[in-house]
Amino acid sequence: MSEPGGLEAARVAEILVERPGQGRGRRGSGYRVGDRHVLTAAHVVEGPVASVRVRFDADLPGEWSAGVRVVLFAEAADVALLEITALPAGVARVACPRYAAVPESDVVLPVSAMGFPRFKLRDSSMRLLDDGAPGQYRDSCHASGTVSVLSNRREGTLELAVLAPRADPEPERSPWEGMSGAVVWSGGAVIGVISAHHRSDGLGRLAAGRVEHWYDALTPAELERLHLDAGLPPRGGLSSAGDTQGPAAGASLVDLPADLPLRELLGLVDALADVPVLGDPNGLGTVLSSIDAVIAANRPRDSRLRMDIYGIVRTCLRYRGTLDQLLETVRLLEGKSAEVDRVDREAAQLAKRYS
């Protein structure tokens, strides 16, 4: 599984939308935020739609594509989540990215995004049409620039200042068509999804929906979907885009209240359930035998791994210091991995909320 730490080119998706009948297709961008899930803008997959596919690493040795279905369509926040219907064999697993809020203050943040805008359309002698004419393809655009946080406050979006493409020969169409849905990064974290190019802002400005606004615009069910499938943390667990180092590893949970509600523990439980050593019965037994025996003796047992781990975590909360013992043992037995890093991030967010 790849380690989350910022934009990875192999996870950038080209969204290929086919319309019913003879309607012109649509292109967009997105990002693979989980093994089977791709984050994009809602308007990219807005109906009527005949089919939607995602393509990765086009014309490169690792190229692959797959059909998807829309499992979240949130027009209010212009965000959508696509589920890959059949993951090709051999495709690498990926971890969910880190998400961050942009501070409401006089700051300018460095940002980047990668997608497939129309001005990257290329003729190719390697792709001939039936009549022998050169075919076309869209190359990738790695846009880097800045966000001046206090711009676009009324619209509630981020204004990305990026290098402008050259003058466009079709002024009635935006050269940025197809960039919608590209994920915006700052400090190794996702802070938004590109949603529009306002022509009045000029060719060097793009607008993006802000991650922190999803919590107000989406329903509880939609937020739960993003949490489970894309790794979006609970509202209180969102870090700041100014924190480029991310949450500190090894944060102590000794002061957590014993009666934490389930929704507060979901992130940590889900992260622990993905750790290979805990998914193996022998490994889980080794972990439990390495911490205070009171946990193994008093925990409820369940054949479902996620529920079993929830019972262990809930029991640890009743015995001060044992949850830290559990996490330290997992780190020692599993070693450095993307799964352990995710556990540390979730633990740090919990510790921060209850410090």
**Which CATH number characterizes residue 80's domain?**
2.40.10.10
Angle value at C-alpha 8, between 208 and 279, nearest 5 degrees: 110
Average pLDDT over residues 281-289: 88
How large is the average pLDDT for residues 326-345?
A: 85
Instruction: Give the separation between CA 212 and CA 232, rounded to whole angstroms.
Output: 10
pLDDT over 90, % of the chain: 55
What is the average per-residue pLDDT within 35-62?
A: 94
Cite the beta strand spans of 197-276 per DSSP E: 205-210, 239-240
Give the span between the Cα atoms of 138 and 116, in whole angstroms: 6
Domain end, chosen from 196, 214, 232, is at 214
Give me the number of domains the chain comprises.
3
> Helix-strand-coil percent breakdown of the chain, rounded to 5?
30, 30, 40
pLDDT in tens, 81-128: 999 999 999 999 898 999 999 988 888 888 999 999 999 988 765 554
Domain membership of residue 344 (yes or no) is yes
Residue whose structure tokens are 């089919």: 51
| Inside any domain, residue 71 | yes
Residue 285, domain member (yes or no): yes
Range of the domain at 277: 262-353
Same domain, 143 and 78: no
- Identify the CATH number of the domain in which residue 119 sits: 2.40.10
Residue 307 backbone phi and psi in degrees, to 5: -70, -35
Closest listed residue to residue 116, CA positions, set 256, 253, 16: 16
